[in-house]
Structure 1
Amino acid sequence: MSSDDDDLAARIAATASGAYDVAPDSELKLVNRSENTVFALTDAATGEPLIMRVHRHGYHERHQIESELDWLAAIRADGAVSVPQVRAARDGTRVVTVDGVDDRPRQVVCFEQIPGVHPDENLLTDNDFHHLGRITAALHDHARRWRRPPGFDRFAWDWESCLGQRPRWGRWQDSVGVGPPQRRLLGRAQDLLEQRLRAYGCGADRFGLMHADLRLANLLVHDGDITAIDFDDCGFSWFFYDFGAAVSFIEDDPALPRWQDAWLAGYRTAGTVSAADEEMLASFVMLRRLKLLAWMGTHDHALESRTKLARYAEGSCELAECYLTSGGRVVRW
C-alpha cells in the first residue's frame, strides 16, 4: 500500500469522523494497515481516544460488517470474554458509509479505545498461551450457544476459500520465494492436508463461527484484564483452526510444543478437546502457514510481509517436510 493509499484512507476517516460526536479538528493518527486501515482518533474537545477502522473495498459487504458487530454485541452481553465496544454515529448507525472521497463507497466503523498492550512477541510465556486458549474456548462456547439473528452473514474459511479453487488470500504458489522445487514440496503437504481435513469433516461440533485470527497480537492486556480484538476475519471454519492462528509467524519456534500444551490446558478450562481434535492441530498450523504464505505475497504493505517474507517460503518448506514425515501429525518439534 502506497502513501497515496494511506492519504486516501485518512481522508475517508476524516470524512467519516463528521458523522460522530467529536470536534471537527480532532486528530487522526495511523495505527496499522493490513486488510483494513486503522486510525487512532482523539476528540479535540474532550481528549477521548477512539479507534476508527476504514474497510478496504471488496473484502466485506456492509451487511457482513454489521454481522461482525452483532456477534461482538452478543459476546459483550454474555460477559464471558472482553471485546471492543462499538461507538455508534450521531444518527445511531454502527457502520458509516463514506461517498465522494474514493471512486466507490467505503465503510467505516468506530470503536471505543481499550487500554492495554499486546503481549511482547519477544518474551512470550506459557501463561500467555494459557490465557489465549481459555479465551478461544470461551468464544467457541458462545458461538455454539448463540442464536444468530436473521440475515447474519460471514464468509466461510473452508477448503475452497483457504487453499482450493477460490483462495480468498491468493495462491501460495505465486508468493515470493516459491519456485518449482518449493511448489512440489508444498504441493505434497497440501495434498496430505486436504486428505486429513476431509477425513476430519465439518460437523457442527467441529466447524462453526469463530474468530479466525485469534493470536496474541490480537489481545490487549491491562491490569490483569484481557480483551480480544480484531474480529474482522471472523467467519465459519474449523474451530481448532484458531490454534493455527494462535501460532502465526512463530510456527518454527522451538517452544511451540510447550506453547501448544499451555494453549490446550487453557482451552480445557472452558471447553473440551477430543483426541481427534488434538491430532489435527498440526494440520491447522500447516493450513494457516500456507494461507499466510499466500497472504504475504498479496499484502506486501503489511508489517509481517515487510519483515518476514524474505525467508517465509523457505521456512514453510521446512515445516512441510516435518508435516509429511510425520504423516500430518507434527509440524516441527
Structure 2
Amino acid sequence: MTGLYTDEVLDTLRVGAAGLLGTWGLSPDARVTLLNISENATFLAREAGADPTSDDTIVLRVYRPGYHTRQEIESELDWITDLRAHHVVDTPEPLAVAGGGHIATFALNGDHRAVAAFAFMSGAEPSPDTDLTGNFHTLGAISARLHAHARAWTRPQGFRRKTWTWDTTVGPTPHWGDWRAAMGLEPAGAAVLARACRVLRARLEAHGTGPDRFGLIHADLRLANLLVEGDRLGVIDFDDCGFGWFGYDFAAAVSFLEHEPYIPDLQDAWVAGYRTVAPLRAEEEAMLPTFVMLRRVLLTAWLASHAETPTAQELGAPYTDGTVDLAERFLGTS
C-alpha cells in the first residue's frame, strides 16, 4: 500500500471524484473534502450553502485498486439496496448512475478508479467513553435481521463477494496481509500468535461453515461504521461485506476495543438483542470470544499492510503488543 494515499494522490483522487459530480446531479462548483482513508478514500461533496441533510450533500467513495472487482462492488450495492427496500437496517442509499448500476469511473495513470456515491446520513459515532451496552443491544437485533435477510435473500445472478474463512483471514491466503508482518512483532510474540492461530484454526474447523452459522455478513460493524441520532442506530460502509461466520459480526463490532474490561458486558447485550429477533444457540454464543481473537489478529495484519492510514499510524506497534497479550490470555482459557 506504500504510496497509495500520499497527500498528492489524495488530491488527485479528490479532483477525479469532483469531476464526476454531475453524474449524481451536483454542480461542478460543489465543495469536495476528504472524510476518511481506510481501504478506500471517502469524500464529502456539498453544494455551497446546502443544508447538510439535503440531496445536495452526498458521500463519494473512491475504491482502492486491486481489492474489489467492479462485479464485487455492484454486488455490495445490490445487497444494500435490497436491505433498504425491506427496511432491514437504516443505511444510506447507494445513488444510481444514468444507464444503470451505481459505479462511475475516472482515469488515473492509465487505469480507471471506481467511484460510488451514497446519500448523506447524519449522526455521530458512538463514543467508547460512554456506556455502549444499549447500542450493542440494538446492534445485536440489527445483526440478527441482517443475517435473517442473508439466509432468505435470492441473490442476483452474478453476485460476487469475498469469503472470510480461516485461509483468507489469518491463514495462507489472507485478504489483508500476513500477521507475521505486524508492526513491531518480536520473535517471542510471533510464537505466541502462532500458537493462538493453531487453536483458532481447530475451533473454526470444528464449528464448521453450515448455512445456520456461515453466510453473507456485514463484517465490519465497528463503532466507526455506526451513526447514532436519537433512537436511530444507522449502519454504514458495507465495503467488507462477504461470506463469513455470523458470529464474526460481533467480533467486528468490538474492533480496537478488544482489550477493554467491559467486552463481556457488550457481548451479553449483543446476544440479548440478537435473541429478540432470532435464536442464537449456546454453542454459537460460546464461539464469540474465538471470533474476537480471530478479528484481532486479522486487524493486526491489516495495520501492517495499510501503514499509511491514520488508524495504523495512531495505533502502530503498541496494538501488536496488545494482540500478543490478548493471545496469551486466549491461550490461557483454551
Both structures adopt the same fold (TM-score exceeding 0.5): yes
Cα deviation 1:180-209 (Å, max 9, x = unaligned): 101101100000000000000000111100
Matched, 1:171 2:175: no
Partner residue in 1 for 2:32: 28
Partner residue in 1 for 2:12: 8
Matched, 1:139 2:143: no
Q: Which runs of 5+ in 1 are unaligned?
A: 328-333
Partner residue in 2 for 1:235: 242
Partner residue in 2 for 1:82: 90
What fraction of aligned residue pairs are identical, expressed as a percent? Answer: 43
Cα deviation 1:126-146 (Å, max 9, x = unaligned): 112111111111111111111
Separation in 2, partners of 1:226, 1:189: 34
Matched, 1:191 2:198: yes
Give, in angstroms, the shift of residue 46 of structure 1. Answer: 5.5
Matched, 1:202 2:202: no
Separation in 1, partners of 2:131, 2:168: 31
Separation in 2, partners of 1:113, 1:318: 39
Residue of 121, 130, 150 corresponding to 2:157: 150
What SS does the aligned partner of 1:150 have? coil
What SS does the aligned partner of 2:243 have? strand
Please say if residues 170 and 298 of structure 1, whose CA atoms lie closer than 8 Å, have aligned partners that are also in contact.
yes
Partner residue in 1 for 2:223: 216
Give, in angstroms, the shift of residue 87 of structure 1. Answer: 1.6
Please say if residues 19 and 28 of structure 2, whose CA atoms lie closer than 8 Å, have aligned partners that are also in contact.
no
Partner residue in 1 for 2:137: 130
- For the structure 1 residues 270 and 25, does the alpha-carbon distance in structure 2 shift closer, same or farther, using more than 3 Å as the test? same
Partner residue in 2 for 1:51: 59
Partner residue in 2 for 1:331: none
Matched, 1:317 2:324: yes
Cα deviation 1:58-111 (Å, max 9, x = unaligned): 111111111001100110111121111012234444111222x33311100001
Specify the code of the residue in structure 1 equivalent to 2:71.
H
304-313 vs 166-175, greater mean Cα deviation: 304-313
Partner residue in 1 for 2:302: 295
Matched, 1:64 2:72: yes
Moved over 3 A (4+): 44-47, 90-93
Specify the code of the residue in structure 2 equivalent to 1:257.
P
Partner residue in 2 for 1:330: none
Separation in 2, partners of 1:125, 1:102: 45
- For the structure 1 residues 31 and 124, does the alpha-carbon distance in structure 2 shift closer, same or farther, using more than 3 Å as the test? farther
Please say if residues 39 and 53 of structure 1, whose CA atoms lie closer than 8 Å, have aligned partners that are also in contact.
yes
TM-score by length of 1: 0.94
Give, in angstroms, the shift of residue 283 of structure 1. Answer: 0.8
Please say if residues 22 and 44 of structure 1, whose CA atoms lie closer than 8 Å, have aligned partners that are also in contact.
no
Q: Which runs of 5+ in 2 are unaligned?
A: none
Specify the code of the residue in structure 1 equivalent to 2:240.
D
What SS does the aligned partner of 1:192 have? helix
Residue of 101, 104, 115 corresponding to 1:96: 104
Number of residue pairs the alignment of both structures matches: 326
Separation in 2, partners of 1:27, 1:196: 50
Matched, 1:267 2:274: yes
Separation in 2, partners of 1:295, 1:238: 19
Separation in 2, partners of 1:91, 1:287: 42
Separation in 2, partners of 1:91, 1:227: 29
Q: CA RMSD in A?
A: 1.4
Partner residue in 2 for 1:37: 41
Give, in angstroms, the shift of residue 217 of structure 1. Answer: 1.8
Cα deviation 1:217-247 (Å, max 9, x = unaligned): 2111123222111000000001101111011
Partner residue in 2 for 1:304: 311
